[in-house]
Amino acid sequence: MSNEKNTDNPLAPVVIKLSNIIIVLVVLLIALLILFAVFVPAPKAEKKIEIEAPVPDQYGNFSDAAKEKAKEISVASLFWQAPDVSTLEADPKKEEILYGKDLIAHTADYFGPKGKVFLASTNGMNCQNCHLDAGTKVFGNNYSAVASTYPKFRARSGAIENMYKRVNDCFERSLNGKGLDTNSKEMQAIVSYIKWLGKDVAKGTKPEGSGFKDLKFLDRASDPEKGKLVYTSKCQSCHQANGEGVLNGDKTAFTYPPLWGSNSYNDGAGLYRMSNFAKFVKYNMPLGASHDATQLSDEEAWDVAAFVNSQPRPKKDIKKDWPKIEEKPFDHPFGPYKDGFSEKQHKFGPFKPIKEKLDEMKKAKKKV
Ligand code: HEC
Ligand code: HEC
C-alpha cells in the first residue's frame, strides 16, 4: 500500500524526512531554552537613577517640591545637614538670619540689574547659583565650615581673613562687583545667616559634605575640544550656546546663570580654578545631579571645565594675590611660579606632577 502511495506521490518520503528534522529541531530548541532559563541567572535589574531636573519658575525660583526632592537625595545622615529654619521661631535674630538667607538665594533682587539696595553693583548672579540651596547642599559648595574655620589665614591674600572679607571676595570676584560695607544691614545679615548655618559645627572642624567633593586627577591635560562636545550635549540647553545664560521675564535675575561673557565670574574667582570648576560640576551639574547621583564622568567634568574656562570673561587685577608664589595652588593659571611648571600646565594639567612637586617643596621647607 505504501508503495502504491509512494508511486502516487514521489515527494512523500522527502516530506516525511523534512518534518522529522523539524520536530527534532523544535525539541532541541525547547531543551536549549529550558537549560538557558535554569542555568543562566536573570540579569540584575539595573539600578537606574532617573533625575528629573527641577525647573525654576519665571523668577528663577524652585518650587518646594523640587527642593524637597533635592534634599531627599542628599539626606544620607552621615553628611552635614543645615539647621531647620522652623527652629528660628524663638531666635531673637530670626529676621536678620532670614534676610541673610534671602540675600544669598536672591542676591540679584538686591544688587542685580534692578537691585533694590544697589542698582547693578554686581553681574546679576545669585550667591546661590554656586552655593546651592542657599549654601546648604551636601558637596554643593555649602557654608557648613565657614563659621567654624574663620577667621583664618588664607594664602591667596597672605593675610588673616574674617568672614566679611571672605564674603566680599565673592562679591568682587564671583559676582564681579562691589563689596559691601562691613556695617551695612546686608553684610550683617549674610554673616548672621552663615554663622547660624554652622552653629552646630565644632570650632576648627569641617563636617562631612562641606565644600567640594574630591575628584581624581586625569593622567592627561584636560581638553577644551572634548569639553566643547560635553558642553553642547549636556549644558547648552540651559546655559545657552553663547554661554551667557537666560534672564527671567522681568530681567531682574538669571533663570539660568551665565558661564562666561560679561555677566560671568571674573578670572580671579574660585571657579576659574580648573579643579574647583570640575568638582562643582561633577557633583552638581547638569542641574539635579548630586554627589550620590552624578551624571558626568571624571573626564567629562575636567574637559568641560577646560572648555568653559577658556572662554572670554571679565578680568580682575590680581597682582596682589598669592604674595608668596610658592604657595600658589597647582591650578592657579597665572605665573610666575617656583615649581618650574608652565602657565599652560598650571591651567590645563596634567596636575599630578605639579601637585607632587608642590608637596615635596612644602616638606623640604618644613625640614629646614
Ligand atoms: C560663580 C560662583 C560663585 C558665586 C556666584 C559665589 N561664590 Fe562664594 N565661592 C565660590 C567658590 C568656588 C568658593 C570656594 C573657593 C575656593 O575654595 O578657592 C567660594 C567660597 C565662598 C566662601 C568660603 C567658603 C568656605 O568654606 O571657606 C564664602 C563665605 C562665600 N563663597 C560666600 C559667597 C557669597 C556671600 C556670595 C554672594 C555674594 C558668593 N559666595 C557667590 C563660588 C561662588
Ligand atoms: C537643566 C538646566 C541645566 C543644565 C543642563 C546645566 N545647568 Fe548648570 N546651572 C543651572 C542652574 C539653574 C544653575 C543655578 C543653580 C541655582 O541657582 O540653584 C546652574 C549653575 C551652574 C554653575 C554655577 C553658576 C555659574 O553660572 O557659574 C556652573 C559652573 C554650571 N551650572 C555649569 C554647568 C555645566 C558645565 C553643565 C553641563 C555639564 C551644566 N551646568 C548643565 C542649570 C543647568
How far, in Å, CA of 222 to CA of 331, rounded?
A: 12
Question: What is the radius of gyration, based on Cα positions, of the chain?
Answer: 30
If you ran DSSP here, which 8-state letter would residue 115 be given?
-
For residues 139 and 241, membership in a common domain is answered with no
Q: How confident is the model at residue 349 (pLDDT cuts 50, 70, 90)?
A: very high
Q: Is 156 in the pocket of ligand 1 (CB under 6 A)?
A: no
What is the reported pLDDT for 94? 97
* 73-94 mean pLDDT: 86
Q: How far is the CA of 163 from the centre of ligand 1 (A)?
A: 11
* 320-344 mean pLDDT: 96
For residues 329 and 275, membership in a common domain is answered with yes
Q: How far is the CA of 355 from the centre of ligand 1 (A)?
A: 23
Q: Is 281 in the pocket of ligand 2 (CB under 6 A)?
A: yes
For residues 173 and 233, membership in a common domain is answered with no
Higher-pLDDT residue of 24, 290: 290
Q: Is 171 in the pocket of ligand 1 (CB under 6 A)?
A: yes
For residues 185 and 86, membership in a common domain is answered with yes
Q: Is 197 in the pocket of ligand 2 (CB under 6 A)?
A: no
For residues 165 and 233, membership in a common domain is answered with no
Q: Is 309 in the pocket of ligand 1 (CB under 6 A)?
A: no
Percent of the chain with pLDDT over 70: 91
What is the reported pLDDT for 48? 40
Q: Is 270 in the pocket of ligand 1 (CB under 6 A)?
A: yes
Res. 57: pLDDT tops 90:
no
35 falls within a domain: no
CA-to-CA dists, residue 88 to 46, 95, 318, angstroms: 43, 9, 40
How far, in Å, CA of 19 to CA of 42, rounded?
A: 34
Q: How far is the CA of 301 from the centre of ligand 2 (A)?
A: 13
Res. 282: pLDDT tops 90:
yes
For residues 178 and 250, membership in a common domain is answered with no
CA-to-CA dists, residue 325 to 253, 274, 329, angstroms: 38, 18, 9
Cell readout for 226 is 572634548
Q: Is 238 in the pocket of ligand 2 (CB under 6 A)?
A: yes
For 133, phi then psi, to 5°, come to: 50, 50
What is the reported pLDDT for 47? 42
Res. 41: pLDDT tops 90:
no
Q: Is 314 in the pocket of ligand 2 (CB under 6 A)?
A: no
* 103-119 mean pLDDT: 97
Ligand lying closest to the C-alpha of residue 234? 2
Domain membership of residue 158 as a residue range: 79-197
Q: What is the mean pLDDT of the chain?
A: 91
How far, in Å, CA of 255 to CA of 62, rounded?
A: 10
DSSP of 236-286, one letter per residue?
HHHH-TTS--EE-TTSSSEEE--SSSTTS--TTSGGGSHHHHHHHHHHHTT
Helix, strand, or coil here: 358?
helix
For 159, phi then psi, to 5°, come to: -145, 165
Which of these three, 152, 180, 197, is where a domain ends? Answer: 197
Out of 285, 297, 308, 309, give the residue to mutate to test ligand 2, the one with the largest number of ligand atoms within 8 Å of its CB.
285
Q: Is 80 in the pocket of ligand 1 (CB under 6 A)?
A: no
Least confident of 42-46, 202-206, 262-266: 42-46
Res. 5: pLDDT tops 70:
no
For residues 360 and 229, membership in a common domain is answered with yes
Q: How far is the CA of 295 from the centre of ligand 1 (A)?
A: 23
For residues 149 and 253, membership in a common domain is answered with no
Q: Is 132 in the pocket of ligand 2 (CB under 6 A)?
A: yes
Ligand lying closest to the C-alpha of residue 206? 1
Task: Residue 227: name the closest of 165, 161, 166, 309 by CA.
Answer: 309
For residues 268 and 345, membership in a common domain is answered with yes
What is the reported pLDDT for 44? 47
Block residue for cell numbers 571672605: 166
Q: Please give the distance of CA 200 from its chain centroid, rounded to a whole number.
A: 25
Question: Within 10 A of 2 (CB to CB), how many other CB atoms are there?
Answer: 8
Ligand lying closest to the C-alpha of residue 273? 1
Q: How confident is the model at residue 293 (pLDDT cuts 50, 70, 90)?
A: very high
Res. 43: pLDDT tops 60:
no
What is the reported pLDDT for 63? 80
Least confident of 24-28, 203-207, 283-287, 293-297: 24-28
Percent of the chain with pLDDT over 90: 77
Q: How far is the CA of 287 from the centre of ligand 2 (A)?
A: 6
Higher-pLDDT residue of 296, 15: 296
29 falls within a domain: no
DSSP of 133-202, one letter per residue?
HHHTSTTSSBSTTHHHH-SEEETTTTEEE-HHHHHHHHHHTTS-SPPPPTTSHHHHHHHHHHHHHTTTSP
For residues 242 and 361, membership in a common domain is answered with yes
What is the reported pLDDT for 75? 54
Q: How far is the CA of 127 from the centre of ligand 1 (A)?
A: 7
Task: Residue 57: name the closest of 250, 242, 232, 283 by CA.
Answer: 250
Burial of 267 (0-12, 13-18, 19+ CB in 10 A): middle
Q: Is 129 in the pocket of ligand 1 (CB under 6 A)?
A: yes
For residues 236 and 340, membership in a common domain is answered with yes
Res. 96: pLDDT tops 70:
yes
Q: How confident is the model at residue 45 (pLDDT cuts 50, 70, 90)?
A: very low
Res. 50: pLDDT tops 70:
no
Domain count, the chain: 2
Q: What is the CATH number of the domain that holds 304?
A: 1.10.760.10
64 falls within a domain: no
Interval 188-230: pLDDT, tens: 999 999 999 999 999 999 999 999 999 999 999 999 999 999 9
